[in-house]
Structure 1
Amino acid sequence: MLTEQILTNAQVVGAEQVFHGTVVLRNGLIAEVSEGRSRLPQAQDLQGDYLLPGLVELHTDNLEKHLSPRPGVDWPSASAVLSHDAQIISSGITTVFDALSIGDVNPKGKRMQQLPAMLEAIAAANAAGLTRAEHRLHLRCEVCHPDTLSVFRDLVEQPLVQLVSVMDHSPGQRQFALESKYREYYMGKYHLNTAQMDEFIVEQVANSRKYSDSYRRAIVEDCLARGLSVASHDDATVAHVEESAGYGMTIAEFPTTLEAAQTCRRLGMSVLMGAPNVVRGGSHSGNVAAAGLAKVGLLDILSSDYYPASLLQAAFALADQEQNCSLSQAVSMVSRAPAIAAGLTDRGEIRIGLRADLVHVRTQDALPVIQHVWRQGKRVY
């Protein structure tokens, strides 16, 4: 049966420009895009608000908050997935890559034990049609953990896996070139005393020397053979980026310095930064500011990371702050660019023939407020 919706009197955020226009949805796809206002009685008047493509999120740890809402509390996984999904769709995210961490460096953490339940709950909710956003999986592989490679090989067979990132959160690596910063961060995060921290550092350094290089190589080779997108994590130097690009990685998650971001551009890697970094005005850990990279044309993709609502807010903030970035360019960073980076060519832009994943946004005192969300032409919020 032919199903049609007409969305009119909207500020349509296209890939190149924003224009006052009308978008027709038919059978889950974008069927027509035109300037001007429709006079058809069945047209839905968006009252001059913005109409954006559905947002695409490549890296969020948000599900973990719903699985462990308080220290020591394990929430039922099926309920946690649906609560997470509700928060995701209400943030305008129609395609989300839920990040599952393989190789927890937290000595008191439960990430590894939670992995099977998380994966099964996401797959089951997706298959049953219970989720309003489309959920895919992003495997975050801590290559300095002894069990990472074997667990990765078990999980990568899951059909929802489409993105893999490799990282090494050990002293002297990437984000933690200085042991003092490593000590400060993890003692505060995991509440370790000095003796526990000393023991933790010795163990992590030994594991990194033993496993990191061989695990990184094996994981990337497996991913490329499967046609999966691969990302580096926290590259800080030219050498880091050159190593990542040499392995065939195409996305650089959270490069920590301007030098690293410049090298990513030179070597054709897409730079992904955190949307909270934009909203807060800088990195909480003192690394390079995402808005600063946008201003010099070195920012390609934004990720909400730990705060889903930040994705849309950051896009509008970048355009509003005149960081050499138009609204179309900023919205592309949260829709078209991440979709392309993940190999999804059927979404991320308001263009005829693509999926009708759309977000109706009204601004209030420069804050974007979501009114409605459509996924494949069906209103889901």
Structure 2
Amino acid sequence: MIITNVNLVLEDQVVNGSLEIENGVIKAMSDTASQLPQAFNGEGGWLMPGLIELHTDNLEKYFTPRPKVDWPPFSAMSAHDAQLVGSGITTVLDAVALGDYREGGKRHENLDHLIETVVESQKRGVNRAEHFLHLRCEVPHETTVDMFERYRDVPAVHLVSLMDHAPGQRQFVNVQKYREYYQGKYKFSDAQMFQFEAEQRARSEKWSGANRAEITRQCRERNIPMASHDDATLEHVAESHELGMVIAEFPTTVEAATASHNLGLKVMMGAPNVVRGGSHSGNVAAHELAALGVLDILSSDYYPGSLLDAIFKLTDDERNQLDLAAATQLATVNPAQALQLDDRGVIAEGKRADLVLAHHLHDHTYVTRVWREGRQVF
């Protein structure tokens, strides 16, 4: 297959030309248009590597579209997969939460079905994107290590992150933001909210340190890549580096992000943070880190369509030095390298033909075609 009349978004530049695919990989590229009549005409759009998503909670929304509503698993997976591919994402780590930070929470009851569905749908070859698993370990909980041990050896597990959402630290240094978030989410009264805060602080003090040490030890033994989460201080960063983290997910301060980047951790921020112009929790804005040169990876987090939007928003932002090629790396080659997925993430000869064609129409950039391993999936 030949794709012609496109702007090829390469690692370090954008070149108008054409591209040839054979047996699911990129065979050749040219800076001239193809004259062959069978070539697909990209009509001047941007041809980018397929986007790589390391942290999305999107699948849970399809499994439980409303409270107390459980959707049939493969139907939920199919809808989730279609949304991701329609957003230009060809490789995804579906994030599942281990440990329940709310007394009586039901989230863990769907875990077996959710993980089994991700694995089985990929095995059956029915997914459009390629799906792996990201285990999000809520460390301030007595069940977290047991739950991690239940799933740690599933071959699809490609990333483990460790998080502590207790109030007064990390993501929720601002306790008022914590109350706004959880009262809005769980409809707590003021009295229930204060009780919830006290419980979470107590659990964090009792369980976080020991669980963090044990889970990271087991990950190092198995060579599973790890990510810190919401690091806020130099002490947090030093601990994450010592424990062997390769990614710093959503650091909350410039200080923590800069220190992480300088120590070799890939700093990941939310694409919704870019699109909205700041953090919904009141923490550091992603565009600030981009301007400082310490932003390495973007994640769509809770909104799949934000990933492509954020790439173009950063490109148009005069506060940083990112051109389209550099901004695209944040959602392609950089996450691929962090997980040692060396066969994808860049348009180059011999790499997988995971590709996204996008066009700018009416002040918005739209995904118009997607290929995974040379097969059109959107």
Q: Which residue of 2 aligns with 1:284?
A: 280
Verify: 1:337 aligned to 2:334, yes or no.
Answer: yes
Match of 1:56 among 34, 37, 52: 52
Report if aligned partners of 2:2, 2:40 keep a CA contact under 8 Å in 1.
yes
Instruction: Give how far 1:190 is off.
Output: 1.4
- Structure 1 unaligned segments of length 5 or more: list them: none
Deviation sequence 1:213-258 (CA, Å, 0-9, x none): 1111111111122121100001111111111111110101111111
Matching of residue 326 in structure 1 with residue 323 in structure 2:
yes
- Asked if structure 1 preserves the Cα contact closer than 8 Å seen for 2:10 and 2:325, the reply is yes
How many residues get paired? 377
Give the C-alpha shift of residue 65 in structure 1.
0.8
1:181-229 Cα distance to aligned partner (Å, 9 max, x none): 4334322321112332232223222221221111111111111221211
Indicate the SS of the match to 1:69: coil
Taking the aligned partners of 2:249 and 2:304, their CA distance within structure 1 comes to 17
Counterpart pick for 1:352 among 346, 349, 352: 349
Deviations 1:292-336 (A, max 9, x none): 211111110000000001000100111012321110011110111
SS of 2:237's partner is helix
Indicate the residue corresponding to 1:316 in structure 2: 312
- For 1:165, the equivalent position in structure 2 comes to 161
Distance 2:209 2:41 in 1: 56
Amino acid aligned to 1:176:
F
Partner of 1:134: 130
Q: Which of 195, 202, 207 matches 1:211? A: 207
Q: Which residue of 2 aligns with 1:80?
A: 76
Determine the structure 1 residue equivalent to 2:90.
94
Q: What residue is the counterpart of 1:275 in the other structure?
A: 271
SS at match of 1:12: strand
8 Å contact 2:172–2:281 — kept in the other structure?
Answer: no
The question of whether the paired residues in 1 share the 8 Å contact of 2:137 and 2:144 is answered with yes
User: Among 298, 303, 308, which residue is 1:302 paired with?
Assistant: 298
Pairwise CA distance, 1:77: 1.4
When normalised by structure 2's length, the TM-score is: 0.97
Larger mean CA deviation between 128-137 and 63-72 belongs to 63-72
Aligned to 2:145: 149
List gaps (5 residues or longer) in structure 2.
none
Is 1:125 aligned to residue 121 of structure 2? yes
Distance 1:180 1:284, change over 3 A: closer
Q: C-alpha distance in 1, partners of 2:58/2:149?
A: 24
Q: After alignment, is 185-194 or 84-93 more displaced?
A: 185-194
What is the aligned partner in structure 2 of residue 378 from structure 1?
375
Cα distance in 1 between the residues matched to 2:178 and 2:279:
16
Q: Is the 8 A contact 1:108 1:190 kept in 2?
A: no
Equivalent residue number for residue 187 of structure 2? 191
Cα distance in 2 for partners of 1:246, 1:103 equals 24
Q: Tell me the secondary structure at the aligned position of residue 228 of structure 2.
A: strand
Displacement after TM superposition at 1:17 (Å): 0.1
| 8 Å Cα contact 1:296-1:324 kept in structure 2 | no
Separation in 2, partners of 1:264, 1:43? 45
Q: Does 1:69 align with 2:65?
A: yes
* Pair 1:112-2:108 in alignment: yes
Residues 106 and 190 of structure 1 are in contact (CA less than 8 Å); yes or no, is this contact kept in structure 2?
no
TM-score (structure 1 length as normaliser): 0.96
